[in-house]
Amino acid sequence: MSREGSQPELDALFLSRIRLGIMSALAGGDELDFTFLKEALETTDGNLGAHLSRLEDEGMIRSRKRFIARRPNTSYRISEHGRRAFQAYVRSLAARLGLEEGHKSEG
């Protein structure tokens, strides 16, 4: 079992397209807030919140809470552990397709 988690664990974690989408967006960017993610993934507050919590519990992402113009704002960043796990997952997907060198979007 790798440090990033076993393949079945990663498959289970990224089974949801919302969670996979969150990881993809954060891997493609820097720090994204809740509203940005909600619009990017076209999902609801409750759904997104649940999946963000799951990923945070797994140590895949980190959150930062603050107030902007007196309104609460939560932004998210991929953790180093999460980045490695995500890369491992992308590599495994590529391997299943026979693309051993990995996928370009792994970034």
Counting contacts by CB under 8 A, is residue 68 touching another protein? Answer: yes
Q: Select 7 or 56, whichever has its Cβ closest to another protein.
A: 7
Asked whether 61 and 77 are in contact (CB, 8 A), the reply is yes
Counting contacts by CB under 8 A, is residue 69 touching another protein? Answer: yes
Choose among 75, 104, 103: nearest CA to 91.
Answer: 103
Distance CA 95, CA 34 (A): 32
Could you list the residues that contact another protein (CB under 8 A)?
11-12, 14-18, 20-21, 24-25, 27-36, 39-43, 47, 68-69, 73, 75, 90, 93-94, 96-98, 103-105, 107
